[in-house]
Amino acid sequence: MLILMKRDAGREDILRVKDKVSGLGYVPHEIPGAQRVAIGITGNRGKVDPELFNTMPGVEEAIPVTKPYKLVGRDMKPENSRIEVGDEVIGGRELAVIAGPCSVENWNQLITSARAVKEGGARFLRGGAFKPRSSPYSFQGMKEEGLVLLREARAETGLKIVTEVKDVLTLSAVAEVADVLQIGARNMSNFSLLEAAGDLRIPVLLKRGISATIEELLMAAEYILARGNYNVILCERGIRTFETATRNTLDLNAVPVLKKLTHLPVIVDPSHGIGMWDGVTAMALAGVAAGADGLMIEVHPDPANALSDGYQSLKPERFKELMEKLGRLAPVVERTLRTEARI
């Protein structure tokens, strides 16, 4: 349920409502809005009677929310959420670009990638230290050593770090380094991990599972928000279909659908979406044209020798070209892009 407070509701009115919600055994979520405060109610104790709140001072209306997700929905919060990552924002007018190698492999590979993506204009460096791979015999990542390198790369370039968390066991180690925690497609329905990430306040980049519906993605995000971490960014990265010509089918329909249903930012990962480097730029531009708030792009200085996902990684010079094209597209879709490297 959503409790809309009156425009002139005082602090004491809001606190009274929140206390009542807690007293009934539910969790109140205060959602500040441009005009008025709303209070979302979550919990798994069944329906709440709106009449319990309708007569309280400062309450405009208690509205039942029938969708299986609540906090992520636009009913709860009509305005777009802007997720702050230090001095950067994901979900504003400016496009956010996250780029870097699939995996951290060694210092030279990481810092070369980091300098290249920074020069191209990205503000976020991606790179997995813990890699959940489909095969147990594929490269599993440098793990803790990779985290050390990511920390050093941030210190040297100032780029924000986006790195994947594979399980609850290693969450605290990854959270010490990550500016944004990536929860990958294979973990989208790992509810213990979603809850544990929900207990932190670090922004989470949640990728859509390979056979997850849009509603399932939203419910996975709801797990994180329900624990109080409202800093979630959704990522469309392609789904599995009958098509075998591409690694996945990048579902760009999901972008306008998600933007309608949720206030959370949505980014597109064309690298995993199409799975071949020479299709990445086209699908990146298409993603932004579809309304994405940003992109995640795999970039590697030597794709032929990459330990993971080399065939879908752009060389630095191709990434630069992509960013130049994106800079020309941005004003057409009423977005901005800063491509100059920040010193």
Residues that bind Mn ion (CB under 5 A): 102, 309
CB of 67 to Mn ion, least distance (A): 32
For the segment 219-248, give every residue that binds ligand PEP (CB under 6 A): 237
Q: Determine the residue with CB nearest Mn ion.
A: 102
129 near ligand PEP, rule: CB under 6 A: no
Instruction: Answer with the entry of ligand PEP, Mn ion, none that 198 interacts with (C-beta below 5 to 8 A by kind).
Output: none
HSE-up (13 A, CA, CB side) for residue 20: 20
Q: Which is nearer to Mn ion, 99 or 102 (CB)?
A: 102
Instruction: Answer with the entry of Mn ion, ligand PEP, none that 184 interacts with (C-beta below 5 to 8 A by kind).
Output: ligand PEP
Angle in degrees, 0-180, between the axes of helices 107-120 and 144-157, rounded to the nearest 10: 40
128 near ligand PEP, rule: CB under 6 A: yes
- The residues that bridge with 30 in the sheet, in sequence order, are 39
Q: Which is nearer to ligand PEP, 70 or 131 (CB)?
A: 131
Q: Which is nearer to ligand PEP, 207 or 259 (CB)?
A: 207
Q: Which is nearer to ligand PEP, 190 or 229 (CB)?
A: 190
272 near ligand PEP, rule: CB under 6 A: yes
CA distance linking residue 102 with residue 128, whole number of Å: 6
Q: Which stretch binds ligand PEP (CB under 6 A): 139-147, 182-190, 315-323, 327-335?
A: 182-190
Q: Which of 21, 72, 180, 185 binds ligand PEP (CB under 6 A)?
A: 185
DSSP string across 24-92: TT-EEEEEE-SS-EEEEEE-SS----THHHHTSTTEEEEE---SS--TTBTTT--SPP-EEETTEEESS
Q: Which is nearer to ligand PEP, 118 or 237 (CB)?
A: 237
Burial of residue 114 (CB within 10 Å: 0-12, 13-18, 19+) is: buried
Report the SS3 class of residue 301.
coil
Start-to-end CA span in the chain (Å): 47
Residue 191 parent element (H or E) = helix 191-198
How many residues make contact with ligand PEP (CB under 6 A)?
8
Count CB atoms within 10 A of the CB of residue 289: 13
- Of 274, 271, 268, residue with least CA distance to 287: 268
CB of 233 to ligand PEP, least distance (A): 13
207 near ligand PEP, rule: CB under 6 A: yes
Q: Which stretch binds ligand PEP (CB under 6 A): 107-115, 180-188, 274-282, 329-337?
A: 180-188
> Which pair of structure tokens corresponds to residue 117?
């993506």
Total length of the chain? 343
Q: Which is nearer to Mn ion, 236 or 309 (CB)?
A: 309
Report the SS3 class of residue 139.
coil
CB of 102 to Mn ion, least distance (A): 3
> Which pair of structure tokens corresponds to residue 129?
């230290």
Q: Which is nearer to Mn ion, 75 or 309 (CB)?
A: 309
Report the SS3 class of residue 166.
coil
CA distance linking residue 19 with residue 215, whole number of Å: 31
Q: Which is nearer to ligand PEP, 272 or 335 (CB)?
A: 272
Instruction: Give the Cα-Cα-Cα angle 198, 284, 88 (nearest 5 degrees).
Output: 45
CB of 15 to ligand PEP, least distance (A): 41
CB of 127 to ligand PEP, least distance (A): 9
For the segment 279-318, give every residue that binds ligand PEP (CB under 6 A): none
102 near ligand PEP, rule: CB under 6 A: yes
Binding site for ligand PEP (CB under 6 A): 102, 128, 184-186, 207, 237, 272
